[in-house]
Structure 1
């Protein structure tokens, strides 16, 4: 496997780690209402768990409110049940046409707890990226042992993989810092 393939595969996997982190962070609550909080809630719909974003229009008409407008009003009860059983801690209000979720402001203690969760998720992403680096370096070592790569190629490959690692760890850090500042601002 040439150097380009090793680095391309590593970069692709690192990008997936960063994308996963971004998705996870979207679901973490800040002081404002955000449709990302409820998009991935699974609703039992005709026997299969379906993401809420596939069953309804989601919007934030006010800074502290999420509006859920189901495509099929017959599923409102199931959506309410799914929201209540989720770990959001929000109480849905319904008029049998739309569901409103009022998002109360966060206390200082809740903000610190959520910021800690952001740090944990970011660290998981960094560990994932480092594991990808390790795998890429192992591939390069194996190719050198099989005489496909020279020693110079091995050094160049490991340098490129390390540069990718730094780049994607930087992206993780940026995402985490941005989300923490959103959580901590009043």
Structure 2
């Protein structure tokens, strides 16, 4: 039973870490990365569709993304969708390819993005601690129902704490890497 609780907590903590990585991908750095456009939705025959499902997104150089729509008639729609997204990007169309240059980041913008990254990391830590709290309460419930001994309870809580510490360390490591990425010119 404790192993089931531990496995469930592990799965929840892993999902929290994945959510953090997704949030970090949305924070744009000075370099071009296709994940920056993941949140852009395009009106495709009356249906809001993710950009990556209607076009190929490649990194042309360090500071430019190239978006190649599968259908030529989508070029103006995709360009408009990128412009209206809250990413602050200005695409330029040349024929069938839409080029999206990444603007240079100012020092102030970098600091704001680091602040956002720290906020996202803290939300990840809170989610991980929440999974720990839920797992520990389930273990206490098993003890109360006399399905496990006090030694089993202590052992289970220690294992959950080790799991929590491991995931918190992963969050800290990801935050440090993102900060270094944002602050490098």
* Counterpart for residue 57 of structure 1: 56
**CA deviation after TM superposition for structure 1 residue 53, in Å:** 1.2
* Counterpart for residue 153 of structure 1: 152
Q: TM-score with structure 1 length normalisation?
A: 0.96
Larger deviation, residues 42-51 vs 96-105: 42-51
Aligned to 2:86, the other structure's residue is in SS state coil
* Counterpart for residue 43 of structure 1: 42
* Counterpart for residue 107 of structure 2: 108
* Counterpart for residue 93 of structure 1: 92
The unaligned stretches of length 5 or more in structure 1 are: none
Aligned to 1:38, the other structure's residue is in SS state helix
The unaligned stretches of length 5 or more in structure 2 are: none
* Counterpart for residue 30 of structure 1: 29
Aligned to 2:39, the other structure's residue is in SS state coil
* Counterpart for residue 133 of structure 1: 132
Larger deviation, residues 24-33 vs 116-125: 24-33
Q: TM-score with structure 2 length normalisation?
A: 0.96
Deviations 1:136-179 (A, max 9, x none): 01111111111111111111111011101000011111111101
* Counterpart for residue 65 of structure 2: 66
**CA deviation after TM superposition for structure 1 residue 48, in Å:** 2.2
Q: What RMSD over aligned residues (CA atoms) do the two structures have, in Å? A: 1.0
Where has structure 1 moved over 4 Å in runs of 4 or more? none
**CA deviation after TM superposition for structure 1 residue 96, in Å:** 4.1
Given that residues 141 and 154 in structure 1 are in contact (C-alpha distance below 8 angstroms), is that contact kept between their aligned partners in structure 2? yes
Larger deviation, residues 56-65 vs 118-127: 56-65
Q: How many residues align?
A: 185
* Counterpart for residue 169 of structure 1: 168
Given that residues 40 and 53 in structure 1 are in contact (C-alpha distance below 8 angstroms), is that contact kept between their aligned partners in structure 2? no
